[in-house]
Amino acid sequence: MLYSKGPAWGRGRIAIDNAMKDRNDYLAQLLKANILLLAGPFTDGSGAEAVIQVADEAEAYRIVAADPAVARQILVADAKPWRIEFEHMPGIASGTGEQSQSSSTATRGGGGH
């Protein structure tokens, strides 16, 4: 998932800090559940990216919608379909030729549409 500043980004430092703290807690839960593989901001400050492993694109959007910073419009998220052709991360589906992945989203077990 690709993230950028949302319409509520300018609401003040306290609102942003609270949303981002809640988001970090949410991401920690996803990491513990082996859904989130990695996440972080771009070094130029233009946004962030998260790599999640899900069954399909609909699940990816459900996960993003539950992100506290997205729900509060501090961040907006976007996904584009993609296919993993090369990887060096154990546990990520690859080489199947299936295209059920979303931007920064890999499918579990190689399933999908």
DSSP state letter for 10: G
Show the low-confidence residues of the chain (pLDDT under 50).
95-103, 105-113
Q: What is the pTM of this model?
A: 0.73
| Alpha-carbon separation of residue 75 from 6, 10, 14, 88 (angstroms) | 4, 11, 15, 29
Domain that holds residue 74: 2-110
pLDDT score for 109: 43
What would the two tokens of residue 111 be?
């399933």
Q: What is the CATH number of the domain that holds 93?
A: 3.30.70.1060
Mean pLDDT score across all residues of the chain: 80
pLDDT score for 80: 67
- How many domains does one find in the chain? 1
